[in-house]
Structures are given as C-alpha cells and as structure tokens.
Structure 1
Amino acid sequence: MSDRTAQPTAPYDLLLRGGRVIDPATGTDGLRDLAVRDGRIAAVAERIDPATARVTHEVGGRLVLPGLIDTHGHIYQHVTGRFGLAADLVGVRSGVTTVVDQGGPSCMTLPGYRHHVAEPSATRCLAFLSAYLVGGLEGHLYSQLYSPDGVDVAATVASATANRDLVRGIKAHAEIGGFARWGIRVIELAAEIAHRAELPLYVHFGQLWGLPESGANGEDADTILERVIPLLDEGDVLAHPFTRHPGGFVNRLGEVHPVIRAALDRGLKVDVGHGSHFSYRLARTALAAGVVPDTLGADMHGYNTHVPAPPGTPTEHPDDENHPFVGQARFSLVQAMTSLLALGLPLASVVPMVTTNAARLLGLSDELGSLAPGRVADVTVLADERGTFLLRDNEGTEVATERLLRPDFCLRAGQRFDADSPLLPEPVPVPA
C-alpha cells in the first residue's frame, strides 16, 4: 500500500483507491474508490481522480468494509477487574470502529463507563447494560453477587432509558452455575428489564461460574435453553452457539437442541461470542443443523487475551490455573472472521455479521454499518491473505485454512488508525 499527498485545496480530505469495497447495505461488492470529506463518506465510485484528494491511500488487493462492529467486548478497564481491556486496543487499533461492552457497566456504574471509557476513547463505545447491580465483575470469583437479590428492575430500566445513546440492550446469563444456585429467577427479572426498557436481551449460554455443575440441586444444563427461550422476544439474542461448555446449543449427546430451530423461526438472533467458548468441533455440528449466526462478537477479555505488561510487572496472575476462561494468547474480531471462513461460511455471509446485521441489532442501521455517501466515515481496511495458516481453538483442535484476514487500518469518523494493537495475533503459517 502506498500513500501520497495532493494539493491542500483538493475537495476531498482522503481517498482510498483501488480496494474491493464490500457494503451489504448498498449491495456494493467490487473494485471502487472511496472519498472522505469532513469525517463523512463523500463518494464511492469506480474511479475518483487522485488529484481531487489531499491524501490518497492505495489499497489495491485489500477489502474495504464499513467500520467493523464488535457486538461482544469487555472494555470497562479496571472497574471489571481483569476482564476489562483498553477500548482502543480492542477497537480502532485492531481495525474495529465500534465495540459493545457486554454487561460490564450496570445502572450503578454506567456513569463511570461513560466518563472513563466512552468519552475519551477514539473507538465508538456502546454497552448492553448488565441486569445485575454489580455489572460485569469477576463473577467466577464472586458468584454470590449475581443472585436475584442483586437485580433491581426499576433502577436498571431507568438507567437504560435515560442513556439510550450508550445503552443498546441488556445482558444476562443463563448457565448451570446460576441455575443450580437460584433457578431461573434471574433470567425472569432480566427479561422483565428488557421488555420494560424496549431493548434486546443478550443471554449468555454455556457454563460460566464453575461449580455447582450440572446435576447440582437437581438442575440439568441441557434443560436451560428450553426453559429460557419462552421468556424471550423477537430480536433477543442467544449467545455462544458454538460453546464448548455445558448448557449450550449442542447437548451432551452431540445434538443441536430441538428448541433452537423454533427460536430462530420466531425471530430470535444468534451472536457467536467467540472468545474462549468457541469450539470448531461444535461449530461444525451447529452449522450443519442450519444454525448460522446473525452477528459476530469477539468476546476478548483479560483472561482469554494476553495483555503485554509494562517492564517490571509480574506476568502471571494468581488465578491463571483456576479460572474457566483460558484462551488464545492473542486474538481479534478479524481473527474470528477468519475462523468462520475456515468453517466454510462465505465472505458474503461473514461481512454482514460485523456490519449491517450488527448495526440492526443495535438499532443503529441509520448510523452504522454502511459506506453510503453522507454516513460517518467509519471504514475498515483488511488484508486478504492466501496461503496455508493454522488456527487453534481452546479444545486444542487445529484447523488449517487457506485464507487469512488481517486488519491493516481503519478510519473512525475519517481519522486513520493503524492496526498496531499488541493484542493482535501473529499468523501461523503451515510449512509447505
């Protein structure tokens, strides 16, 4: 890629020239030039004269997409313990222009999320508000905080309603640890919050908080889905369809739960929530049964992503051997896109998951997920590499893929950010 600068009187601020522009919202897929002026998309055309732009980036051989949207992030740094990552490392410095924190802030801590994360970050930071008063603390260490007594319906509805610019949904967990302790009551309260706030409910499936396991107090992880789904509305989200943990879409017999098909038919949505839950083995089973996700969240956090420490800082965490979230040393949303391509999904199905479908889930289709002229210039540029590369999930399953996507840079409201995050994985080529 080469860049060049034209005269300062040129009508466009910036030109991306010669890339493959894919914009599902406008039906565009082909070689196009894209011009930006005053932080907005000014033109998309087969050819735009480079002399009309002050700065030109040659992006031939690359994919030019609407700014990627990560629907499952953990970016409430410091407040959520080791879970919270720096927003811009997950966001613009990883080629992602919008990150949704899934359940980090609560009605009590949302003002801090606004002031310390959303406002100072270059990345657009949104949130699905936790149904729990404590928000996304380290629940596997303090599970008693996530009981029904830790939910205040009225306060959470009021917070969500008063902060619509940030809050785009509600987050709760339907997993065997919580069910064995308290039954279904927490999910009933979370569903009430979402109904009253008129927002989608994003429900985690798959074991999360460790013991008690399936069978404790008479609870069976394989019954959770069939009990929770009737509480949900069209547009609510079932998360972690490819989880390796008990209580997910694939039961202990290795079969996709029979209630899933009916749930999808009545308009419930599916988010990958990749992270440390993802299993290639179970993903193949779910995809073969017709479970194709609507959206793709990376689910990166400080337990499943190696965060380089400053010199002199201890590199080990006292809980490293005991927590249930051990995952990739480095990871990214774009790497998650590569995972889905390696499973046989076409690029035409994967791109909407991180653009148009994600914008629709957030109720922001008129603002995000498109490169139409007039929109804010949120743009992601990806390298589309060929070769043989090795991918590995948390079960130890290795998959060889001949296609690897890597972030090059992004524009956030027209400002360029190189993909230089230390969280980004290095490709693992397979020797010929």
Structure 2
Amino acid sequence: MNLSRNFYRLVFSVLISLGVSDLVFAQKIDILLKGGHVIDPKNNIDAVMDVAISDGKILRLAPQIDAAGAIKVIDISGLYLSPGIIDIHVHVFAGTNKAQKYMDGPNSLPPDGFTLRSGVTTVVDAGSAGWKSFPLFKKNIIDNSKTRVLSFLNIVGDGMGEFEQDTMDMDPEMAASTAKFYDDHIVGFKVAHYNGVQWIPVDNAVAAGKLAQKPVMIDWRGLPPVNSFEELLLKHLRPGDILTHMYHAGKSVGAASPLYKESVLDENGKVKPYVFQAQNRGIIFDVGHGGNGFVFGQAIPSLKQGFRPNTISSDLHIGNMNAGMKDMANIMSKFLNMGMSVQDVIARSTWNPALSIQRKDLGHLSVGAEADIAVFNLKNGNFGFIDSHGGSFRGTKRLEAELTIRAGKVVWDLNGLATDAWDKAAKSK
C-alpha cells in the first residue's frame, strides 16, 4: 500500500517537473484574450499580457497563455484591455413618470443601451430613487439589466424630482435602514437640486451615511445667497464623501436660471486653496460631466495646476447623451487630450470609483474576480470634443470601445472581434 502511494507521488512530482500539470489539471478557458496591453491599476499591471476567463471569472493573466483547449480565442493585439469601466454618476431609473422626470421618468435612460457600448460594466444611479421608490427601481431596472446597476439613494424619500425641496421628507433613519437592507445594491446617499439655504439636506445625508457607514455624493447649488462652498467641503462633508460636477462653470447653472454654483477657480483662474485642502483631507472630487457640469475653462486650468479628478463619471441622462457628454469613452478621451496619461484615465474610471463606493470586489482583474472587461482602441487623428456650454476643443486621441465583457460574456463587439467570419460561421452550423 505504501509502495503504491509512493509511486503515485513520484509520478505526480515528475509531471510537475515536466510542466505537464498545467495540461492535466488546468481549468477550462471559455475566453482567451491574447496580446492586449493590460492596464489594471489595482494590481499595478501595465504590460502586454494574455487574459483567460473561465466560468465568468478571471482565471489567469500571463505574458503567454497556451490557446490549446480554449473555447474562444480573441486576438486584441494593439488594443488596450482594462477592468470594466465604473461610472458612478448616472440616471437610469427610466419610466413614464413625466411629472418627476428622473424618478421612474423619461429623463432617465435604460442602462444597457448607453453603457456597454462604451466599455461601462457598472453604473451607480445618483439619486433618482429614494427609500420609498427604491423597491420599484430594483424591480424594473436593477433586476433586468445586464449592466451592474448600483445606487446612491436620494436623501429625499420619494427620489429625484420636485420632491427634492421637501426637507420634511429627508429622513436619515429610513434612508439608512433601506441602504442596510439592500446593502448589495445601495452604495451611499445623494443630495441634488435643493434650492434652499439650509444645511438640512447635506447634514441629513451625512447622518444617513454615518448610520449606514456609506459615503454621500453632493451636487451643490442653490438660489443666492448660496451657503459657503468652503464650509461644505471642510466642515459638513467627511473624508470619503463625494463632490460631483467638479469642473462646473460656476455662476448661473443655466442661461435662464437664477440658480448659482461656486466654481473651483477664483476670479484670477487659480484653484482656490481650500479646494486643494478638501481633496487632501479625503473629499473625493468627481467629474459628473452631464449637460451642465463640465467646461474646458475650468478643467484645463485646474489640471495644469494639479487639481485632478479622483473619479471620472458621466451624469448620463436624456439631456446629454447626444450633446457634449456623449458617453464615458468620450469623456475619458477628453482627459487624455488635456494631458492625462491613459493609465491615469483608466485608474480614475475603474479602481478609484470602486474604492469611492467601497466595492473592492470591482474595478480590477485579480484572479477570481468577476470578468468585467473593457477593450479599447486608442485612435490617433484629428478629433473634436465639446463641453457642457458648447465650447469645443481639438485633440489627437480618441478611445473607442471595441469589446465589452460582463461577467465573462461578450456584450459589445464593435468590429466582430469575438465572432467567426460569416463563411466559417455558416459551415459550423
């Protein structure tokens, strides 16, 4: 008996020494992505590598992975491969409630039509639903989308719309208890569109955040006189809380609007010292491009002075999908052309957003992680980009999403990289 056991141990050792173990004991590979330039900020990977996917998970990354036995091999030589893009500011509670627009309304968009095609695999709806309307949001949108949909819960119980002026409906206990109950889906709380001069919305959202141990996202504006922007950043928000629309133009929110926002630049075009102080103390500054939240006149001087976004996001809604914003790939391209490296842009669109919403399971390509992947073609040429106020900017680089994989399944394939030629496909049927 002992002789037999020792014999098998010897055979096993010989197989390993000969490198046969990879063949004998290897897991199946469903998809093998070969030759792409992998950028995985969490794991400090910035190199040409192969990526193997099995059962919806990342199986292996290596300079060379044998394609023998792989069910599907996709050549992505010359392309960039990153974790799936995470957009932490969208509005996707789509419905027919015209009165409230974003809460189950037509201003929100169904996620799958506007995410996967730009490399986005995870979105966070920014306050369209409150604790009262979240179950409907989950039933109609979250549970029926290929895109992973998470939520910043509006501090207003009913959600986003005319409700948002009702301070009596800003209940931190109910918001926090709902967030705890739906912990896998709700990542924090949102304040937006409040036009008053009280601190109630912010303070109640922060109170909910403390109860649920989650961050808040703030869209800061109001009717003059607006509460102090400096006080908001340095006294009311906590490290880890998020200020969105960081490159807003300031002054009036719209040409015909009496609302006001304070910009990060002073009258001399310098980043205000307390803005740097806030970022250094842990306030997360988010792009939140949107239809009125990003202008080159704020972004370019800020970047030159070292004030960079922690996270890049779209503020996707019906008013900007065909305007200057377009999609996440377009926004990422703007930052490339304003001087950020592709590595920095990807970090601020993957791992940084994952950390900001306390979801360390997302935004990386670690072995065993869910296989959410974006493959981009970085094109060189003469391209134009538009900001929220119609200002244009010329650039020489544009990211285009070639392939998107969500949970190990190809969900976007721009140029048929993952499919067989038509004549081969016909013969195989």
Q: TM-score, normalised by structure 2?
A: 0.82
Give the 3-state SS of the residue equivalent to 1:190 in structure 2.
helix
Q: Report the alpha carbon displacement of residue 332 of structure 1 after superposing the two structures with TM.
A: 0.7
In the alignment, does 2:355 pair up with 1:350? no
Q: Look up the match of 1:274.
A: 289
Give the 3-state SS of the residue equivalent to 1:351 in structure 2.
helix
CA distance in 2, matches of 1:47, 1:75: 40
Q: Look up the match of 1:76.
A: 93
CA distance in 1, matches of 2:232, 2:380: 45
The one of 226, 230, 237 aligned to 1:232: 237
Give the 3-state SS of the residue equivalent to 1:205 in structure 2.
coil
Give the 3-state SS of the residue equivalent to 2:320 in structure 1.
coil
Render the CA deviation track for 1:64-90: whole Å, top value 9, x for unaligned. Answer: 001110111111111442321111122
Give the 3-state SS of the residue equivalent to 1:411 in structure 2.
strand
Q: Report the alpha carbon displacement of residue 249 of structure 1 after superposing the two structures with TM.
A: 3.4
CA distance in 2, matches of 1:235, 1:224: 17
CA distance in 2, matches of 1:301, 1:419: 24
CA distance in 1, matches of 2:28, 2:343: 33
The one of 148, 153, 166 aligned to 1:129: 153
CA distance in 1, matches of 2:408, 2:58: 8
The one of 260, 263, 276 aligned to 1:249: 263
8 Å Cα contact 2:94/2:104 also seen in 1: yes
Aligned pair count?
A: 371
CA distance in 2, matches of 1:384, 1:352: 16
8 Å Cα contact 2:38/2:47 also seen in 1: yes
CA distance in 1, matches of 2:263, 2:284: 13
In the alignment, does 2:351 pair up with 1:336? no
Q: Relative to structure 1, is the Cα distance of residues 17 and 230 closer, same or farther in structure 2, using a 3 angstrom cutoff? A: same
8 Å Cα contact 1:206/1:240 also seen in 2: no
Say which one has the larger Rg: 2
Render the CA deviation track for 1:216-245: whole Å, top value 9, x for unaligned. Answer: xxx146x33434531111111111110124
CA distance in 1, matches of 2:114, 2:376: 15
In the alignment, does 2:404 pair up with 1:388? no
8 Å Cα contact 2:286/2:311 also seen in 1: yes
CA distance in 2, matches of 1:419, 1:102: 28
Q: Look up the match of 1:323.
A: none
Q: Look up the match of 2:22.
A: none
CA RMSD of aligned residues (A): 2.0
Q: Report the alpha carbon displacement of residue 376 of structure 1 after superposing the two structures with TM.
A: 0.9
CA distance in 2, matches of 1:150, 1:228: 24
CA distance in 2, matches of 1:148, 1:252: 31
Q: Look up the match of 1:297.
A: 313
Give the 3-state SS of the residue equivalent to 1:127 in structure 2.
strand
8 Å Cα contact 1:94/1:419 also seen in 2: no
The one of 125, 130, 153 aligned to 1:101: 125
Aligned partner of 2:299: which letter? A
Greater mean alpha carbon deviation, residues 381-390 or residues 182-191: 182-191
8 Å Cα contact 1:82/1:303 also seen in 2: no
CA distance in 2, matches of 1:132, 1:289: 37
CA distance in 2, matches of 1:117, 1:340: 30
Q: Report the alpha carbon displacement of residue 298 of structure 1 after superposing the two structures with TM.
A: 1.0
In the alignment, does 2:215 pair up with 1:196? no
CA distance in 2, matches of 1:117, 1:229: 36
8 Å Cα contact 2:314/2:327 also seen in 1: yes
CA distance in 1, matches of 2:388, 2:368: 42
CA distance in 1, matches of 2:216, 2:165: 17
CA distance in 2, matches of 1:145, 1:414: 39
In the alignment, does 2:182 pair up with 1:155? no
In the alignment, does 2:416 pair up with 1:411? no
Percent identity between the two aligned chains: 28
Aligned partner of 1:338: which letter? S
8 Å Cα contact 1:241/1:248 also seen in 2: no
CA distance in 1, matches of 2:262, 2:36: 39
Q: Look up the match of 1:324.
A: none
Give the 3-state SS of the residue equivalent to 1:380 in structure 2.
strand
Following TM superposition, the consecutive aligned residue runs of length 4 or more in structure 1 with deviations greater than 3 angstroms are none
The one of 152, 164, 176 aligned to 2:183: 164
Q: Report the alpha carbon displacement of residue 251 of structure 1 after superposing the two structures with TM.
A: 5.0
8 Å Cα contact 2:33/2:74 also seen in 1: yes
Give the 3-state SS of the residue equivalent to 1:98 in structure 2.
strand
Q: Report the alpha carbon displacement of residue 281 of structure 1 after superposing the two structures with TM.
A: 1.0
Listed as ranges, the gaps of 5+ residues in structure 2 are 1-25, 96-102, 252-260, 415-429
Q: Report the alpha carbon displacement of residue 201 of structure 1 after superposing the two structures with TM.
A: 0.9
Aligned partner of 1:82: which letter? P
Q: Look up the match of 1:26.
A: 43
Q: Look up the match of 1:41.
A: 58
Greater mean alpha carbon deviation, residues 388-397 or residues 371-380: 388-397
Q: Report the alpha carbon displacement of residue 394 of structure 1 after superposing the two structures with TM.
A: 2.4
Aligned partner of 2:160: which letter? G
8 Å Cα contact 2:250/2:263 also seen in 1: no
Give the 3-state SS of the residue equivalent to 2:343 in structure 1.
helix
Q: Look up the match of 2:366.
A: 372
Q: TM-score, normalised by structure 1?
A: 0.81
Aligned partner of 1:154: which letter? E
Give the 3-state SS of the residue equivalent to 1:363 in structure 2.
coil
Give the 3-state SS of the residue equivalent to 1:52 in structure 2.
coil
Aligned partner of 2:289: which letter? H
8 Å Cα contact 1:240/1:248 also seen in 2: no
8 Å Cα contact 1:279/1:393 also seen in 2: yes
